[in-house]
Chains A and B, each alone.
Chain A
Amino acid sequence: MTSSYKTIVKDGLWDNNGVFSMLLGMCPAMAMTTSATNGFGMGLATAAVMAASSFLVAVFRKRITQEVRIPVYILIVAAMVTLVDLAMNAWMHELYKVLGLFIPLIVSNCLPLARLEAFAAKSPALPSLADGLFMGIGFTIALTAIGAVREILGSGTLFADASLLLGPAFKAIELRILPADMGVLMMILPPGGFLVTGLLVVVKRLLDLRAGKEIQMGGAHSVA
């Protein structure tokens, strides 16, 4: 498979977005998006794991036989997740306190696995690295968007606690959009996750239709 970097970037960020087009990684997309900051942090951690594991699989792709590829992919993803988990706990502890709970969940996200199977297994190392990275960034954008909508409607804030995640300089982006008691609690509970994710998928497809693009129906390639 040869893809130009431009296609890789466009696919990852919009055309074949992991959440809004392929409908993969639904568990973190709904469970971790009670605020924009949470979604953003979860997305970044996933992007790091995806870039690293795509790169590794592409490097070893000629050694990994068809029959054992799935266990090897899972092993590589799990090892990368554990590495990120340990390193963040030791050296980025403030961030870890916010995200620590979510990091092990990346293993059960099927988006990294899907990209390994659909792209990294057939492509050279550098394009695979780019694919993992931009799919991960696309995932981050999607999770931040879902989190932002849920947070505004549910808590009335936007990017609350962003300074815990990104450092004191980002105190300025912590906004209060609605008064504290205006929030619709349901939006930060699980039903809100389903509603907002569904509505944003519709929005994305309407935008694609308007732009005259073909709608990719669950283009998750061969991997569920």
Chain B
Amino acid sequence: MHGFGVRCNMGWHGNCEASGKRIIPQIMDSPQTIPTEPVAIQPRTLMHGVILGSFCLGFGLILAVTDRLTIADIGARAVEDRQSSLSQVIPDNIRDNNPVTDSVVMKNAQNREITVYRARKNGRVTGVAYEIYGTGYAGEIKLMMGIAADGKLLGVRVLAHKETPGLGDKIEEKKGDWILRFSGLSLGDPPAERWKVKKDGGQFDQFAGATITPRGVLVAIRSGLDFFAANKATLTEAK
């Protein structure tokens, strides 16, 4: 009698031959009793849960403790990093405060929140620095730009980019001096139509084999200068 009266515990394991015998399922290393009644949580199953759960709990605790131990140091390192990138675009001689702790959050023209760091001397704002963004060949280029209260660029540095190594990465300070040429320039100097790479009729060099990267950087700097012009009063007002 095929398949009649035979209870098949592991029906998906193969054919249940109607041999009259119960087929013993081959569960890995657990040749214990076969449940005659289905749907009952096995003690063994429960044990797996307990084992996995206790490992999760144990390692979770270890990670929580490590997090508590390192959180202060990691925070301090992040502030140091910020300080060192700010100190490249805000010269020491125009400030007597710490710009990292004197910041204000504003929205740029793309409605993106940016943090503006202010350099002060004797309480007066002498310059500001903030992040600007451009679109490069392989994604976003993030830069830090410093600008003096009179609208002249103090400096621009690349913070993060994904440009092609050997071509587009010449925008980094350690790979070339291209990024250094912007200091002292401003929105009207050179005039707006010359704020482009030479290929587009502007006055800035592109790189051999990479035009999109410097173009993206120039767009970012232009947008940063426009942001300063539009918010000059708010940015430089001493509070």
Hey, which bits of chain A sit against chain B, CB under 8 A?
34, 60, 63-68, 71-72, 75-76, 79, 82-83, 86-87, 89-91, 93, 97, 154-155, 183, 185, 188-189
Q: Are A72 and B52 in contact (CB under 8 A)?
A: yes
Q: Are B74 and A185 in contact (CB under 8 A)?
A: no
- Chain A's interface: helix, strand, loop or mixed, by majority? helix
Q: Are B66 and A83 in contact (CB under 8 A)?
A: yes
Q: Are B28 and A68 in contact (CB under 8 A)?
A: no
Nearest A residue to B53 by beta-carbon distance?
A68
Nearest A residue to B208 by beta-carbon distance?
A181
CB<8 Å pairs between A and B, sample of 15: A63-B51, A64-B55, A65-B51, A66-B28, A67-B28, A68-B52, A72-B52, A89-B74, A90-B70, A90-B73, A90-B77, A93-B77, A154-B166, A185-B164, A189-B165
Would A86 and B67 be within 8 Å (CB), given that A65-B51, A68-B48, A68-B51 are in contact?
A: yes
Question: In the complex the two chains form, what is the Cα distance from A63 to B28 in whole Å?
Answer: 17
* A74 → chain B closest CB, angstroms: 10
The A-B contact count (CB < 8 A) is 65
B63 within 8 A of A: yes
Interface centre among B47, B52, B55, B165 (most CB of A within 10 A): B55
Question: In the complex the two chains form, what is the Cα distance from A68 to B55 in whole Å?
Answer: 11
Nearest B residue to A83 by beta-carbon distance?
B66
* A3 → chain B closest CB, angstroms: 24
- Scan residues 108-125 of chain B and give those whose CB is less than 8 A from a CB of chain A: none
Question: In the complex the two chains form, what is the Cα distance from A222 to B100 in whole Å?
Answer: 54
Q: Please indicate the chain B residues that have their CB under 8 angstroms from the CB of A90 in the complex.
A: 69-70, 73-74, 77
* A162 → chain B closest CB, angstroms: 15
* B200 → chain A closest CB, angstroms: 24
Question: In the complex the two chains form, what is the Cα distance from A90 to B70 in whole Å?
Answer: 6
Residue in B48, B56, B62, B166 whose beta carbon sits within 8 Å of that of A67 in the complex: B48
* A70 → chain B closest CB, angstroms: 10
Q: Please indicate the chain B residues that have their CB under 8 angstroms from the CB of A93 in the complex.
A: 77, 80
Would A75 and B77 be within 8 Å (CB), given that A34-B165, A63-B51, A155-B166 are in contact?
A: no
Q: Are B63 and A83 in contact (CB under 8 A)?
A: yes
CB-CB nearest 6 A-B residue pairs:
A90-B73, A90-B70, A79-B59, A93-B77, A86-B70, A68-B52
Q: Are B164 and A71 in contact (CB under 8 A)?
A: no
Nearest B residue to A87 by beta-carbon distance?
B70
* B46 → chain A closest CB, angstroms: 12
Q: Are A72 and B28 in contact (CB under 8 A)?
A: no
Q: Please indicate the chain B residues that have their CB under 8 angstroms from the CB of A68 in the complex.
A: 48, 51-52
Would A82 and B63 be within 8 Å (CB), given that A91-B73, A188-B166 are in contact?
A: yes
Would A89 and B51 be within 8 Å (CB), given that A76-B59, A79-B63, A154-B166 are in contact?
A: no
